[in-house]
């Protein structure tokens, strides 16, 4: 185990909160009944700029239970930033996250922990029987299909709020924007093992969902960012080189085809007038020549950008800090 780890509890429960005053106390009581006398634990609420009485209710809970903590954002920063703050402050051997709207069932926490103890680094919940309107279910299925297809991770619900992590996982990933939707992908890219279990999903009891229909598009934008940055950040030539090779090859093939056409036209039947001004078949297809040259130049530019990127990475690697991607046992 990393000597710099600061594990104090068996379990940390992280709960982002945004205007959930009706459900907070009920959720806490459920978690308390599940955890009390079974594990040493801490519960971290992250108040994500709530404008209702959520913060006040959490303060009341803190007065009754010294193992409850609050991180208070002055403004709404989003779920990813809230989870990231909770990860930074957590000190449990296992970390469990769940939403504050009561749709995630705290009784699933022991099942997540048991799966982690089987050797997995991250376990995600799968809301197989989801209690949401069809307007949320269909976009979610499409989103999960796309992420599963491109990431190669065979789980069904990437964005389920119920997840369990080993300590080393949450200390190795950084969340921002909408990256909370891709935590399994981030973990897998770091070399951690990922699994899932079916979890109970409940109907929303209070209030309205905080997520609109636009989150599908935002999620796809974030996934595009993830694919490019996470996969090619340290090897830009692998991306730009592939694109450059594609464009250059296309341009070369077009130009070779035009050269062949030119050769056949001028040398067939011993015709040797290379500079004829007559309108002919070769003149008519000449615009294709410009496309071939353009593709060739674009391909060279992509390869050049990739090489420049490799040089930048090569220089910057001298200053890389590996503390979040490797264990250091004894460096004295």
Q: Which tens digit of pLDDT belongs to each residue from 252-297?
A: 998 888 888 777 766 665 454 544 545 455 554 567 888 888 999 9
- Which residues are within 8 A (CB) of 108 and not within 5 positions of it... i.e. 6 or more apart? 125, 162, 197, 199, 200
For the ranges 59-73, 170-184, 313-327, the one whose mean pLDDT is highest: 59-73
**Average pLDDT of the segment spanning 178-192:** 89
pLDDT for position 151? 81
Secondary-structure breakdown of the chain: helix, strand, coil percentages, each rounded to the nearest 5: 50, 15, 35
Closest to 47 (Cα-Cα) out of 126, 116, 100 = 100
pLDDT above 90 for 70 = yes
Pairing of strands 68-73, 41-48: parallel
Among left, alpha and beta (phi > 0; psi -120 to 50; other), residue 299 is alpha
Q: Confidence band (pLDDT; 50, 70, 90) for 1? A: very low
pTM of the predicted structure, to 2 decimals = 0.71
pLDDT above 60 for 218 = yes
Q: How far apart are CA 70 and CA 61, in angstroms?
A: 10
pLDDT for position 51? 92
Residue predicted with more confidence, 232 or 301: 301
Residue predicted with more confidence, 3 or 188: 188
């Amino acid at each position: 185990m990393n000597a710099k780890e600061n594990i104090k509890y068996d379990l940390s429960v992280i709960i982002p909160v945004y205007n959930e005053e009706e459900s907070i106390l009920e959720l806490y009581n459920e978690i308390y009944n599940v955890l009390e006398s079974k594990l040493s634990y801490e519960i971290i609420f992250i108040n994500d700029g709530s404008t209702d009485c959520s913060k006040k209710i959490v303060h009341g809970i803190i007065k009754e239970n010294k193992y409850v903590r609050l991180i208070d954002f002055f403004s709404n920063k989003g779920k990813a930033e809230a989870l990231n703050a909770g990860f930074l402050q957590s000190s449990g051997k296992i970390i469990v996250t769940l939403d504050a709207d009561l749709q995630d069932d705290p009784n699933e926490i022991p099942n997540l922990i048991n799966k982690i103890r089987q050797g997995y680094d991250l376990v995600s919940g799968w809301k197989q029987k989801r209690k949401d309107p069809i307007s949320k279910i269909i976009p979610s299925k499409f989103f999960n299909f796309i992420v599963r297809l491109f990431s190669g991770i065979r789980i069904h619900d990437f964005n389920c709020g119920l997840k369990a992590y080993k300590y080393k996982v949450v200390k190795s990933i950084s969340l921002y924007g909408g990256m909370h939707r891709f935590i399994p992908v981030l973990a897998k890219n770091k070399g951690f093992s990922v699994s899932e279990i079916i979890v109970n999903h409940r109907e929303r009891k209070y209030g309205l969902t905080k997520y609109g229909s636009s989150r599908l598009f935002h999620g796809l934008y974030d996934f595009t960012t993830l694919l490019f940055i996470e996969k090619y950040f340290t090897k830009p030539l692998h991306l730009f080189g592939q694109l450059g090779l594609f464009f250059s090859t296309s341009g070369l093939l077009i130009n070779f085809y035009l050269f062949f056409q030119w050769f056949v036209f001028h040398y067939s039947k011993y015709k040797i007038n290379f500079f004829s001004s007559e309108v002919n078949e070769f003149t008519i297809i000449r615009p294709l020549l410009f496309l071939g040259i353009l593709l060739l130049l674009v391909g060279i530019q992509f390869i050049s950008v990739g090489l420049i990127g490799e040089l930048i990475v090569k220089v910057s690697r001298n200053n890389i800090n590996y503390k979040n991607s490797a264990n250091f046992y004894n460096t004295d």
